[in-house]
Structure 1
Amino acid sequence: MPTHDQPGSTLPRRQLGRALREAREGVGFTLEQAAREMEMSKTALIRLEKGHNEKVRVRDVEGFGRLYELDAGRIEALKALAEQTSTRSWWQRARHLIKPGFDTYLGLEVGADHLHIYQPLIIPGLLQTAEYARAIERPRPLEPRDTPEDLERRVDLRLRRTAILTRQRNPTTAEFIVHEGALHTAVGSPAIMAAQCRHMADMSTRANITIRILPFLAGFPGDWNPVLPYIILDFPASSREFGAEPPVVHTETTIGTMFFEDAEDVGVYRDIHHSLQSAALPTQASRDLLRQVARRYER
């Protein structure tokens, strides 16, 4: 099981798929041609190139490498990536408790080196205290088979994610824009909300974390209104052979998740983020507001 300093299996799968797709296109093979040569279905090859296969056979990767006329060094590098794809991530045992698609996001989150997060509704998961998370994860009427142990495992899952921000070696850089309304949406008791606001203020003093509050008075900045929650993930250049994984935008709905990978779509979200940045309070003013709201809850 990987430690918090190690990327999960999702990122190697995506890197491998991207490298195989680029190699296929480099020799002019269509999906149909490559799939036929490798005696697999077109759908299976599409899943492989998109990084959706949880298990990738090393011999298949070697076969693709030879089909695409790659040199021996490149094939060995691809085989090494394929071996990483089978690594079990720390959240795998709790997959049945995770929304569809969110395990894919977790695999990307642990491999990202920079996150831009906007949350207008609740406190972002990476900033939640245990009591706030527990109040969010209260027993769900739509999941009557939930046990108290399941609830605690969901809370633990939320809290373990935060290690990417607080680990000593290479902590992830994260910029949060949180709408002021999330601070005034009572989750649990006033004491829970007070502690949550103070926790955010304290987290914002870390060098790798920026937290800015979008005030009520800002209205709806920019031309995209209203803006739903999103996370922009940027990745480091993990190896000389494969370079950096292209950025991804993750959005979450009540029943599932969506990913936007097209460069134009990612660019739109960066424009949205810049608009929200321009309307949000500065970091110190945001920290002061968080502590002010905490005092109100305490009273």
Structure 2
Amino acid sequence: MSVCDSGPSTLPRRQLGRYLRDWRTQAGLTIAEASRLMEWGASTLQRLEKGQAERVRTLDIGELCRIYGIPDDLAEGLKGLAQQVAVTSWWHARGDLIPESFDVYAGLEATAQQFRSYQSETVFGLLRTAEYARTLKHLGNPDDSDVEIERRVQSRLQRQALLTRKVAPATADVILHESVLRRVIGGPRVMAAQLRHLADMSTRGNISLRVLPFSAGLPLGVATGPYTVLEFGLDRKGRAVEPPVVYAQWLSGDLYLERGIDVLRYDRAHECLQRHALDFQSTRHLLRQLAKEYAA
């Protein structure tokens, strides 16, 4: 568990800088070359890419997007990130400044090294099967074409490589409420495959998976709602590369918390849920048992 409290949140600007750095690299430009095109000093662009710029102008972001060849829909999302103020709790309302099609969380997830997650509604995103994910995408985006749904599903599956890659895979400590296992998504066949997949993934050394049974009641006395705590590793001096972030998804938007006290509160809640959850072996047994019942 790593908690740091470094003042106002820079998460939106760190994400902005990360996207701009990646696209500059794809465009084949060095910092010096891109800076000259912007008529900036190299240090100005460096601060922007590190999320350390105190003042970010949407006009400048638009020009960088033009230079790097960034598509218009993504450029609008980056301009939206540039307009976010520095706060310790960032509420990202869907379609407010940042287009709904722009996935802020995906960019954050891609750089995380540790995940601690509690899910009470659906399976943790990085552990979903294609059919399970496809069903949820159809339900959540009924107006999207099959091609767009498939694009979203494949994007989700590609992101799962975070946990399955051979070199330095991320670690995940996931607690699923029993209701997740018994809520039928996509029909019995889809559920059987999903639960078998969970059981198989739980045998990996970097994945801890436990089920919080109905019999555990409400360990915290209050409902936490689904959440994920993301950590981004340590530098050579043992300091957090970036502050840990608590992510909570809601119908109308996403909440990101970076205050040390907030991260600590969720870490303590996670420890409490762990104490009341089934152990690893019992969890795996329950998953395989329910998978057989769905398949029957």
Q: TM-score, normalised by structure 2?
A: 0.69
Query: Percent of aligned positions with the same letter in both sequences?
Result: 38
The match for 2:219 is 221
SS, match of residue 138 in structure 2? coil
Structure showing greater radius of gyration is 1
Q: Equivalences for 1:124-139 in 2 at 5 Å?
A: 124-138=124-138
Q: In the alignment, which of 251, 254, 258 is matched to residue 255 of structure 2? A: 258
Aligned to 1:281: 278
Letter in 2 for 1:138: H
| 1:179-194 equivalences in 2 (<5 Å) | 179-194=177-192
State the alpha-carbon separation in 2 of the partners of residues 188 and 124 from structure 1.
Answer: 16
Instruction: Kindly indicate whether residue 275 of structure 2 is the aligned counterpart of residue 294 of structure 1.
Output: no
- Taking the TM superposition and a 5 Å limit, the aligned residue runs for 1:157-172 are 157-172=155-170
* CA offsets 1:79-107 (integer angstroms, 9 cap, x no match): 8848xx9898xxx69x8999849722222
SS of 1:136 mapped into structure 2: helix
Alignment RMSD, CA only?
A: 3.7
Shift of 1:47: 7.2
Matched residue type, 1:188? G
The answer as to whether partners of 2:14 and 2:50 remain within 8 angstroms in 1 is no
**What is the alpha-carbon distance in structure 2 between the residues aligned to residue 101 and residue 261 of structure 1?**
24
Alignment size in residue pairs: 238
For residue 106 of structure 2, what is the aligned residue in structure 1?
Answer: 106
**Residue 51 in structure 1 maps to residue 1 in structure 2:** no
> Alpha-carbon deviation of 1:252?
0.3
Partner of 2:228, secondary structure, is strand
Instruction: Give the SS at the match of 1:160.
Output: helix
Partners of 2:178 and 2:212 within 8 A in 1: yes
Letter in 2 for 1:131: E
The Cα of 1:62 is off from its aligned counterpart by 2.2
Residue in 2 that maps onto 1:244: 241
Q: Which amino acid aligns with 1:182?
A: V
Counterpart secondary structure, 2:169:
coil
* Cα separation, 2, equivalents of 1:241 and 1:217: 40
User: Hey, which bits of structure 1, 4+ residues long, moved more than 2 A?
Assistant: 46-64, 77-82, 85-88, 95-104, 237-243
Q: Which runs of 5+ in 2 are unaligned?
A: 1-5, 22-33, 52-63, 78-93
- Pick closer, same or farther for the CA change 1:47–1:181 going to 2, 3 Å: closer
Give the Cα separation in 2 of the matches to 1:273 and 1:139: 29
Distance 1:229 1:99 in 2: 23
* 1:102–1:257 CA contact under 8 A, matched in 2: no
Letter in 1 for 2:43: E
Shift of 1:255: 2.8
Q: Matches of 1:158 and 1:290 in 2, distance apart?
A: 23
TM-score by length of 1: 0.69
Compared CA separation, residues 256 and 102, structure 1 to 2 (3 A): farther
d(CA) in 2 for partners of 1:99 and 1:186?
31
The answer to whether the Cα contact below 8 Å between 1:236 and 1:244 also exists between their aligned partners in 2 is: yes
Distance 1:63 1:158 in 2: 34
Q: SS where residue 138 of structure 1 aligns?
A: helix
- Of 47-56 and 170-179, deviating more is 47-56
- Answer whether contact 2:174 2:208 (CA < 8 A) is retained: yes
Which AA in structure 1 matches 2:279? P
Q: 5+ unaligned residues in a row in structure 1: which ranges? A: 1-17, 23-45, 65-76
Residue equivalent to 1:9: none
Alpha-carbon displacement from aligned partner over 1:167-222 (angstroms, at most 9, x marks no partner): 01100000110000000000112111001000000000000001100000001112
Q: Distance in 1 between matches of 2:149 and 2:163?
A: 23
Task: Name the SS for the 1:202 alignment partner.
Answer: helix
Do the aligned partners of 2:232 and 2:240 also contact (CA within 8 Å) in 1? no
